[in-house]
Structure 1
Amino acid sequence: MKNTLRDNGLSIGFGLIMIAALVGQAFAGHSAYNEQQLVEAGRQISLLQYLTSSEFAVDVAENWQSEYLQFFLYVYATVWLVQRGSPESKRVGNVGLESDKEQKVGRYASDRSPAWARAGGWRTALFSSSLGLVMGLLFLLSWLAQSIAGQSAFNTERLARLQDPLTWLEYVGSADFWNRTLQNWQSEFLAMGSIVVISIYLRQRGSPESKPVGEPHEVTQETG
């Protein structure tokens, strides 16, 4: 048990933090929603009703989709784009997909390599892009969830004002949808760009997101 916790500490730790933050968001969101309902002389709802509402769903989904978009783009961008001096980047001379030997696939795979890395053909080709594909799929699914929940929440407000509801396509093309979406996207892109550049010049001892403390600023890819 001790070894399991040690060996999986990063995923377990972030999983627990995510659950704690989601619970906090649920209570805070429920309180804020009922306060707004009180101001507008609307009907207050229970916590369970709030958790199953489109209001809560859209708030969660719009953040999830921006996170998965960030990693989807980063996975593919770092294949072709480099940043000299950043541990977040490949070495400047390694732009592109790299050779089979460098990637240890096909006849260059070892006995410990994943089976599909050794198999060759379509299986190796699919496995070679599986991380980006899954990140892209998770982004699309969470984006779809955001659009559906957002449409429902937006139409609830329109009906309360005696306005006609929007179809899904109308909502996806609306200012409300893109305002919610772009305010999350820009913050994710800013954060990723910041860590790429700031990690050139600053260090965090013992972190794989940082170069070793004594490495020169221009050294690329090395982690400490």
Structure 2
Amino acid sequence: MAKWAKEHGLLLVNLALFLIFFGGMILSGAATYSEEQQAHGEAGVSVLQFLGTGEFVEATFENWESEFLQMALYVVLTVFLFQKGSSESKPMGKEAPQDEDPREAAIKKATPWPVKRGGMVLKFYEHSLSILMFALFLASFTAHALGGTEAYNEEQQSHGEPTVTFLQYIGTSRFWFESFQNWQSEFLAIAVLVGASVYLREKGSPESKPVAEPHYETGS
């Protein structure tokens, strides 16, 4: 068990942090939502009731969509684009292992099944990481819009205003403000990491070049 935990430590710790912060978001969100409801003369909600509100769905998935969009585009952009000196870039002027054609690879026992199968299965597998990320982005984008529609309509009804459909809500400035305010921060963070990794180091991290390596060396 200890060996397995060590081999999967990065994933396990990140999942644990996700659950801790997600739990904190739910508890604080339920409290905030109840306070707002009570301020408008309505009953507060329990934590479980909060999970069924458009407010919770909207807040959750508007953040998830930006994360998956960031990762999807980053995976694709690093195929074609380079940053001299950055550990986040493939090496410049020479072949990278990621560019090798799997059809020419020696088949071993541990070779992934899609590579052994070839054809359309391999074609899909070659791009499966970006496909997954874009699929998760689209799913989160849709859930954000659905939750946002419900939350928006609750506000409209409380003010005696007409409600909107799902498609109408996607056309509102509120929906796109919620999206863009998250998207911009994700790509700022990526830009800072790409640029900073040219000159700064973190000993022991695969996200950093070796500490003594020159700034112009590209790739980790």
Matched, 1:220 2:203: no
C-alpha contact 1:58 1:150 (8 A) present in aligned 2? yes
Q: Is the contact made by 1:109 and 1:118 (CA closer than 8 Å) also made in structure 2?
A: no
Aligned 8 A contact 1:81 1:95 in 2: no
**Structure 1 consecutive aligned stretches of length 4 or more whose deviation exceeds 4 Å:** 94-99
Q: CA deviation at 1:158?
A: 0.4
Q: Is 1:184 matched up with 2:182?
A: yes
Other structure's SS at 1:93 match: coil
Instruction: Report the count of equivalent residues.
Output: 219
Change over 3 Å in CA distance of 1:125–1:96 after alignment to 2: farther
> What SS is found at the alignment partner of 2:4?
helix
If asked which structure has higher relative contact order (CA below 8 Å, sep 6+), I would say 2
Equivalent of 2:103 in 91, 103, 106: 106
CA contact (8 A) 2:86 2:195 kept: yes
1:90 aligns with 2:87: no
Task: Tell me, yes or no, if structure 1 residue 144 matches structure 2 residue 138.
Answer: no
| Kept in 2: contact 1:34–1:44 (CA 8 A) | yes
Q: What does residue 60 of structure 1 align with?
A: 60
Task: State the AA in 2 paired with 1:13.
Answer: V
Q: CA RMSD in A?
A: 1.7
Q: In structure 2, how many angstroms separate the alpha carbons of the residues matched to 1:215 and 1:97? A: 20
Alignment of 1:106-185 (within 5 A): 106-111=103-108, 112-185=110-183
Query: Between the two proteins, what is the percent identity of the paired residues?
Result: 38
Conserved in 2, the CA contact under 8 Å of 1:86 and 1:219?
yes
Structure 1: gaps spanning 5 or more residues = none
User: How big is each residue's C-alpha offset from its partner over 1:39-68, in whole Å with a ceiling of 9 and x where there is no partner?
Assistant: 222221111111221111111111111100
Deviation at residue 108 of structure 1 after TM alignment: 1.6
Return the TM-score normalized by structure 1.
0.93
Which residue of structure 2 lines up, in the alignment, with residue 19 of structure 1?
Answer: 19
What stretches of structure 2 of length at least 5 have no aligned partner? none
Separation in 2 of the partners of 1:80 and 1:214?
27
